[in-house]
Amino acid sequence: MTQLDESSARSPQGPELPAELVALLTDRLDVQAGSDQLSPSTTFEDLGLDSLWLMELVVAAEEEFGIVLPENALDLRPTSTLGEAATAFEHVS
């Protein structure tokens, strides 16, 4: 598993990803990714994650934050970006 510090979640060209999202990906789902792969423009597909992994991400988020996401609130696909996921989580958490 890749350990990331706060600076690792930053994209050189864009805003930071929420540390909670990075932690869910790297700690809970054991996504192996370097800091250069975790930017708002990175897609789940870029990380090798399919729709089953995305469902696991949703379940992990619900467990971690004690929330229940409405089915239509988080319409993530493998082609969705981490930035889109961060925005979706922001609106429901």
- Residue tagged 């929420």 (tokens): 18
- 69 in any annotated domain: yes
- 24 in any annotated domain: yes
Output helix, strand, coil percentages for the chain, rounded to the nearest 5. 45, 5, 50
pLDDT at 46: 93
Average pLDDT, the chain: 78
Q: Number of structural domains, the chain?
A: 1
* pLDDT beneath 70: ranges in the chain: 1-15, 70, 72-74, 91-93
Predicted confidence (pLDDT) per residue in 52-61, tens digit? 998 898 888 8
pLDDT at 73: 58
The residues, any chain, with a CB within 8 Å of residue 23's CB and separated by 6 or more, are none
Tell me if 16 sits within 8 A of 85, measured CB to CB: no
Instruction: Residue 40: give its domain's CATH number.
Output: 1.10.1200
pLDDT at 62: 86
Give residue 74's domain range.
Answer: 6-92
pLDDT at 79: 94
